[in-house]
Amino acid sequence: MTSSRPSISVGVWILYVATSLVCFPVGIVLGIMALLHEQDRKPLGITTLILSSMSGIGFCFIALFAAILIPNFMMAKSQSQLAACESNLKNMATAVELYAVDHQGHYPERLPDLLPRYLRLMPQCPAAQKESYVYQVTARDLSGQPRQYELYCQGEWHKTLHVLRDYPRYDSEKGLSLMKG
C-alpha cells in the first residue's frame, strides 16, 4: 500500500537549488553596489551595505518559503478537488436511488433522466472543470430494467494524487471506491 503523503518531487529540489544559486549572487551584487555608493557619502547609523545585505537575505527567505509552500498549496487544492468529486458522485447516487424509489425499484437508463426532478443540474468534476461523470447500467433484471449501476469520473483528472484512471467510482452494490496506484 502506498503512503498517503507524497514524496518531495524533483521539481521542488530544482527550485531549492535555483533559489540558492540566485540568492547568493544577488546578495553579493547588492553588497558591492552598496560599497561603491558608500564611498561618496557618510554613513547614517544603518549603512546602505547593511540594508542591501538584509534585503538580499530577505529575498532569499521569501524565495525559500515560496519553494516550500507552493507545492503544499497545490497538493491541498488537488485533495479538495478529489473530495468534491467524491461528494458529487454520492449526490448523484442518491438521486439515482430516489429515482428508483419513484419507479418501482428500477434505475434510470441514463443520467439526464434525473434532471430536473432529482438533480437541478448535472455536476462537474472540479478537477476536470467539465462534465466528466459516466453512468453505466451493469446488470438488468429479467424484464430488462436496470437493477445495478456504476458512476465514475472518466479520465485521469486526479492523477496528481495517484488515483487511477476512471476513479473515484461509485457502485450500487459496493458504494464509493477510490483506487490508488
Averaged pLDDT for residues 47-70: 70
**pLDDT value at position 5?**
47
More confident residue, 154 or 25: 154
16-57: per-residue pLDDT in tens?
555 555 555 665 665 566 555 555 555 545 565 566 666 667
Each as own residue / partner, the long-range contacts of residues 16-19 (CB below 8 Å, 24 or more positions apart, any chain) are 16/64, 16/67, 19/60, 19/63, 19/64, 19/67
pTM: 0.63
Alpha helices by DSSP H, 39-119: 48-102
pLDDT the model gives residue 4: 46
The average pLDDT across 139-154 equals 89
More confidently predicted of 72 and 111: 111
Backbone angles phi, psi at 75, to 5 degrees: -65, -40
Q: Is 152 helix (H, G, I), strand (E, B) or coil?
A: strand
